[in-house]
Structure formats: structure tokens, C-alpha cells
Amino acid sequence: MIQTLVHGAGRMARRVLAQLPDRTDYQLLGLVSRTEPDADLAADPLAMAWYASLDEVKKSADLLIDFTLPGGTGTAAHWCADNGVAMLSGTTGLSDKDVEALKDAALKVPVLWAPNLSYGVTLMTALVQQAAAALGASANITITDLHHQHKVDAPSGTALALAAAVIEGRSERLEDLLDPQRLQNPPDDDAGELAFSSVREGEVIGEHSVRFELPDEVIEISHQALDRNVFAAGALKAGAWLVDQDPGYYTTSDWLGPSG
């Protein structure tokens, strides 16, 4: 069985915890979160152990599933590298320091970071890359993400991953596209323009679309998450795959492959 720690106690971590009892290949070692779980979470039938920090964990683990906040992911990456634990993270809004910590850990243990762990988004990313390669600079492209009002980072991690798929093979640099002044006043006349639109409202789980605008037609590729359980299920499937891999920095494309 995969001896597993869950890092974080937010929405996604709770969904992972709720699905763990249905996975006979997993055994939960405990929850790691800065604050003690509330009554509802603590009353979970898993009767899990709680650790205020990773330094308190003395048991041997195979996998850490990280759905925490930026900063916490970097700390978890260092801990996983030091303790030989595979790391799966879906935390978004990471700093450069967090990303560097993940890549450093990948030299010692298998690491998979993805802003979105659903199969549908993985397929969408592959389709977006194919469309961008076929259309080149002939299309203006807008990437839109719609999320609940509590989500802080914008554009979303998934939107940035879709942008990376778009610009692969093109001359743009993602750093230039994310310049704050440019995001506020995106150009609208240049061929091949790539722009972002982020909306935060209500309790929307997550919707993403990539719109390719040509002179006489529009192509749009979109994905809508109807239930957060799709991300938790994906995390557990990806984690089961990850623990069998060699040290390295993996993506959902490595896990599923373009053909699924």
C-alpha cells in the first residue's frame, strides 16, 4: 500500500481525504496542516493523525500529496527530498523559489506538479498545442479562466499551462505576456496576440477556454469542471503512478500521455 501524507487542509485536500477510503492501494499516514483540523474533518472515519508541521512526522512515507499555499509547497519539496518521499503537488500561484525547490527535489525523488489534475484538461492542453502549431501567428488568442471568488492567483495555474502550450514553438516568452502593465492594457491589433482574461465570482469550480480568432472564423477549445472530485480522483491516480517512477520532474503529459 502507498503510505501517504496529505499536506494542507483546504478544499482540495479535503476532497482527497474523502476519496482515500475508496482506494485500497492507499493508506493514510496523516494530515499535515498548520492549524488543527476542525470538528468535521477530525471526525472523518479515517481517524487520521494530525501533524502541525512536517518536522513532526516520524513515520516512513511513500508519497506526499500537496494542496497547500505558496511557500508551503517549497517547504514540502525540501522535506520530501531529504526523506526520500515522492511528491505530488497541485498548489497554484507558486513563487520562483517554490518552483526551484520542486526542481531541486526532483533530482532525488519523483515530483509531479500540475495546476490541474483532471484528464480533460490534460487532453485540452494537447489540443491547444496542436491548434497553436497549425495556426502559427495568424490567430489572435485569448485564454479565459473563471473561478470562485476565493481564488487569489490570476491568471490561474491552468491558464498559464495553456499559455505555455500555445507559445511552444512560437517567439513569445511567458514572462513578457505576464507583465502587469500588459495584462491591464493588452494590445488588440497585432496578429498572433495572446491575452488573458480572468474572472472571479461566486463558487465556480473552474472553467477554461482558449479562443483562436482568425479573420473570418473563430476556433474555441474549452473545459468545465462540474465537481472538484475530478481533481481529487486525478491526484490519487497520478500519485499511484508517480511512486513507481525514477527521480525526475514530471507533468500530467508524462502521466497520461497525449493518447491517454
Q: Can you point out the beta strands (E) in the chain?
A: 2-7, 26-32, 50-51, 63-66, 86-89, 110-113, 140-147, 194-200, 207-213, 218-224, 248-250
Q: Which of 7, 147, 208, 223 is catalytic?
A: 147
147 is catalytic: yes
Region for residue 8 given its phi and psi (left: phi exceeds 0; alpha: psi -120 to 50; beta: otherwise):
left
223 is catalytic: no
Nearest C-alpha neighbor of 116 from the set 259, 253, 257: 253
| CB contact at 8 A, 37 and 50 | yes
Cell numbers that stand for 120 in this block: 480533460
- Strands in 248-250's sheet, in edge-to-edge order, are 50-51, 26-32, 2-7, 63-66, 86-89, 110-113, 248-250
Q: Which of 78, 108, 151, 237 is catalytic?
A: 151
Specify the 3-state DSSP secondary structure of 23.
coil
Torsion (CA) 234, 118, 42, 151 in degrees, nearest 10: 160
Q: Is 54 exposed, middle or buried (0-12, 13-18, 19+ CB in 10 A)?
A: buried
Nearest C-alpha neighbor of 14 from the set 33, 23, 24, 88: 33
Neighbours of 129 (CB within 10 A): 19
Q: Which residues are 211's β-sheet partners?
A: 142, 220
Residue 178, φ and ψ in degrees, nearest 5: -95, 10
List active site positions: 147, 151
